Structure 1
Amino acid sequence: MEPLIDMLAVSGPAQMMRTGRWVYAAVSGGHVLGIALLVGAIASLDLRLIGLWPTVPVPDLAQVLVPVAATGLILAMMTGLLLFLAGPADYLQMRVFLLKLTLIACGAGHAVWFHSTNSFTRPNIGLWRVGLLSLLMWLAVLICGRMLAFID
């Protein structure tokens, strides 16, 4: 694993992220935009699943918000990878970073399961539980991501 980390650390994109002040700022801004799209869309859908806005049909809301969330996830992952390259060895030593990655995988897996089974059309599965779990996972991702700035 260490040779791979060393190879990533000396790659062109990694050097660009470490030395390009404006590049790092632009990528970081893109990461924030991706997170905003992802969490904003997911939180809105989750709040509907929990019980807010009961007159709005869940499938209609999902049809609008899921593509926004997917776009945000893709943007956040692409920019997150570039941010990771600025210090891969450092990030991999942080437990909160590994927790963040685990939570992202769980949140994405939860969303794929939920939408691939058309679970929003079956109210007997307890949609409020699905929404609450999703909301908690993505809020935990946000907290872990923010904590990275405060952990050595």
Structure 2
Amino acid sequence: MQGLTSHPYAYPALEVLHIVGIALLLGSLVLLELRVWGLARDLPLCPLARLALPVTLAGFGLIVASGLLMFASQPAELLANRAFLIKLGLVQLAGLNAVWFHGRDSLDRCDGLARAQTVLSTGLWLAAIASGRWIAYL
């Protein structure tokens, strides 16, 4: 992607979009996960989920779109970067955890396993973010 690497503001702009996507995804997830843990019981869980999940998906979409464009600018370097590969694995695990969470109707159950899944979710996303930051240094 010659245009992306030749324009001085293109790649930094994509990084900003990537960070905005991360903020949308993680912010909305954490709010919903805190509610699953019993905080803010006066907020009904289902309406909160109807608000949070589209924001989470929009954030994820922004992450994927900006990430693919950044990847296209230097695929060989990124595929050789251990932090990048770890990040991809963590994102995949976070996605599988989300499928498991919603597949077992954890929002309806709000049981111990649902709470454990939210801890796993937050941990995986934070680890993916940390791995993403390490890409520039490895």
Return the TM-score normalized by structure 1. Answer: 0.82
How far apart, CA to CA, are the structure 2 residues paired with 1:30 and 1:123?
Answer: 33
Please state how far the C-alpha of 1:85 moved relative to its aligned partner: 1.5
How far apart, CA to CA, are the structure 2 residues paired with 1:30 and 1:124?
Answer: 35
How far apart, CA to CA, are the structure 2 residues paired with 1:126 and 1:16?
Answer: 47
Contact 1:100 1:141 in 2 (8 A): yes
Q: Identify unmatched segments of 5+ residues in structure 1.
A: 1-13
How far apart, CA to CA, are the structure 1 residues paired with 2:39 and 2:107?
Answer: 15
The yes-or-no answer on 1:106 pairing with 2:106 is: no
Please state how far the C-alpha of 1:50 moved relative to its aligned partner: 3.0
How far apart, CA to CA, are the structure 1 residues paired with 2:134 and 2:80?
Answer: 14
How far apart, CA to CA, are the structure 2 residues paired with 1:50 and 1:140?
Answer: 21
Among all aligned residue pairs of Structure 1 and Structure 2, give the percentage whose two residues are the same amino acid: 36
Moved more, 49-58 or 101-110: 49-58
Aligned-partner SS, 2:9 = helix
User: Paired residue for 2:7?
Assistant: 20
Question: How big is each residue's C-alpha offset from its partner over 1:30-72, in whole Å with a ceiling of 9 and x where there is no partner?
Answer: 1111111111111222222234323333222211101000000
- Return the match for 1:42 from 29, 33, 52: 29
- Return the match for 2:83 from 96, 109, 116: 96
The yes-or-no answer on 1:146 pairing with 2:121 is: no
Return the TM-score normalized by structure 2. Answer: 0.90
Contact 1:39 1:69 in 2 (8 A): yes
Runs of 4+ in 1 over 6 A off after TM superposition: none
Contact 1:48 1:54 in 2 (8 A): yes
Please state how far the C-alpha of 1:113 moved relative to its aligned partner: 2.5
How far apart, CA to CA, are the structure 1 residues paired with 2:92 and 2:108?
Answer: 24
**What amino acid maps onto 2:3 in structure 1?**
M
How far apart, CA to CA, are the structure 2 residues paired with 1:19 and 1:86?
Answer: 10
How far apart, CA to CA, are the structure 1 residues paired with 2:90 and 2:78?
Answer: 16
Contact 1:35 1:73 in 2 (8 A): yes
Aligned length: 138
